[in-house]
C-alpha cells in the first residue's frame, strides 16, 4: 500500500455528556458543560431546545449504538493537529464546503442505507462516507474516486450489523485490517457472510470466485475532536468528519432552529 493512500483520519465520535443521559436533568447538565461551544449557536439560532423523548421508530430501533465509556476510541495520532496550536482560528474561512472547492467536488454521492431493504447501518455509512471523502481529499481528487464498501464491515467487522453498531468500530477496522472498494463488495443491506469471496469477489457466467489481488485502504490516525472551531479546523484541513446526531421523529417534523440535547441515534458525515 502506497504511503499516499494512508489518510490521516480524526473522526468526531460521540463526545457530548448527553450521550448516555436519559433524563431532562442530565440533558441540561450537558448543555451547561458545553456552554462555550453552544454560545455561538444560541446567539445565531435563538437558544437551546430540549427535545422530549418519543417512542418513534427512530428511538425504538436506532442504528447507532454509542460505545460504552470504557470502550470509546482513544486518540491515535502521529503528529499534532492544527487546532491544538494557539491562534489557529485566524486561518478558518468564513464558509467551506468540500462539494465545491474552486469548482471541484471531493465528496461522494448521498446514499440510502435502506435500499434494497431496511438495514440499520448508519454507523457504517457515516464512517465509510467520511473515510471515502478523506481519501479523495488526500489524493487531490485524482481518478478513480475512492468509494469504500460499507458491506464488508457489516460482513466481517464482527461488532455491528444491520441491527446497529458504533462508528468507532469502522475506524478501528480501517486501521487494523483496511477497507475495500465498493467494487469488491457491493452494498446489499443484509448481514452477510465473511469469507474471501465476500471480501472481494467477482463472477463469470458459470462460476464465482474470490479476487486475490485488490487494494485495501488503511487509516493511520483516528480519535475525537470537541468544540466548534476545532471541528471546523479539522474539516477545513483534512476533510469531512463523522458526527452523531439525535435524528428523532420530532427533529424531522418539528425542528426549525436552535440547539438541543437529545439521545444520539444516527451517524452522518459532516462535509463543511
3-class secondary structure per residue, 194-214: CCHHHHCEEECCCCEEECCCC
152 — pLDDT class (breaks 50, 70, 90) = very high
Neighbouring CB atoms inside 10 A of 166's CB total 26
pLDDT above 60 (res 17) = no
> How does pLDDT run across 31-82, given as a tens digit for each residue?
444 454 445 444 544 444 444 444 445 445 667 666 655 445 456 777 788 8
Q: What would the mean pLDDT of 8-32 be, rounded to a whole number?
A: 35
Q: What pLDDT is recorded for position 217?
A: 97
**Is 78 part of a structural domain of the chain?**
yes
**Is 102 part of a structural domain of the chain?**
no
pLDDT above 90 (res 12) = no
C-alpha cell read off for 85: 496550536
Q: How many domains does the chain have?
A: 1
CA distance 212 to 203: 13
Q: Name the residue among 224, 222, 264 with its Cα closest to residue 244.
A: 264
Choice between 60 and 119, residue whose per-residue pLDDT is larger: 119
Q: Give the H/E segment covering residue 221.
A: strand 219-221
> How does pLDDT run across 192-227, given as a tens digit for each residue?
999 999 999 999 999 999 999 999 999 998 888 888
**Is 74 part of a structural domain of the chain?**
yes
CATH code of 125's domain: 3.90.70.10
Please tell me whether residue 145 adopts helix, strand or coil conformation. Answer: coil
Q: Which domain holds residue 26?
A: 3-94+111-270
Give me the sign of the Cα torsion angle 75, 78, 79, 83: negative
88: cis peptide before it, omega within 30°? no
**Is 9 part of a structural domain of the chain?**
yes
Q: What would the mean pLDDT of 123-148 be, rounded to a whole number?
A: 94
CA distance 139 to 126: 20
**Is 100 part of a structural domain of the chain?**
no
C-alpha cell read off for 113: 442505507
**Is 228 part of a structural domain of the chain?**
yes
**Is 104 part of a structural domain of the chain?**
no
CA distance 17 to 34: 9
CA distance 123 to 126: 5
- Report CA 128 to chain centroid distance, whole Å: 7
Query: Helices marked H in the chain — which ranges?
Result: 24-33, 35-45, 57-60, 122-138, 150-156, 167-176, 196-199, 228-238, 249-254
Q: What are phi and psi of 75, to 5 degrees?
A: -65, 120
**Is 17 part of a structural domain of the chain?**
yes
Amino acid at each position: 500500500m502506497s504511503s499516499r493512500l494512508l489518510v490521516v483520519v480524526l473522526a468526531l465520535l460521540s463526545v457530548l455528556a448527553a450521550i448516555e443521559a436519559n433524563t431532562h436533568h442530565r440533558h441540561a447538565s450537558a448543555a451547561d458543560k458545553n456552554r462555550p461551544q453552544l454560545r455561538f449557536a444560541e446567539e445565531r439560532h435563538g437558544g437551546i431546545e430540549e427535545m422530549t423523548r418519543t417512542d418513534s421508530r427512530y428511538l425504538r430501533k436506532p442504528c447507532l449504538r454509542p460505545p460504552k465509556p470504557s470502550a470509546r476510541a482513544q486518540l491515535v495520532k502521529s503528529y499534532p493537529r492544527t487546532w491544538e496550536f494557539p491562534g489557529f482560528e485566524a486561518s478558518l474561512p468564513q464558509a467551506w464546503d468540500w462539494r465545491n472547492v474552486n469548482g471541484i467536488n471531493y465528496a461522494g454521492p448521498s446514499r440510502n442505507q435502506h435500499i434494497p431493504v431496511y438495514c440499520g447501518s448508519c454507523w457504517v455509512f457515516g464512517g465509510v462516507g467520511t473515510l471515502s471523502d478523506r481519501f479523495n481529499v488526500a489524493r487531490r481528487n485524482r481518478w478513480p474516486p475512492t468509494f469504500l464498501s460499507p458491506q464488508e464491515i457489516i460482513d466481517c467487522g464482527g461488532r455491528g450489523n444491520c441491527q446497529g453498531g458504533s462508528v468507532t468500530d469502522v475506524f478501528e477496522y480501517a486501521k487494523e485490517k483496511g477497507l475495500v472498494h465498493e467494487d469488491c463488495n457491493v452494498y446489499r443491506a443484509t448481514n452477510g457472510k465473511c469469507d474471501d469471496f465476500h471480501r472481494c469477489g467477482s463472477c463469470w457466467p458459470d462460476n464465482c470466485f474470490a479476487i486475490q489481488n485488490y487494494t485495501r485502504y488503511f487509516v493511520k490516525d483516528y480519535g475525537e475532536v470537541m468544540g466548534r472551531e476545532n471541528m471546523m479546523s479539522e474539516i477545513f484541513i483534512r476533510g469531512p468528519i463523522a458526527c452523531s446526531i439525535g435524528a428523532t421523529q420530532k427533529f424531522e417534523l418539528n425542528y426549525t432552529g436552535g440547539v438541543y440535547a437529545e439521545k444520539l441515534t444516527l451517524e452522518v458525515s459532516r462535509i463543511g
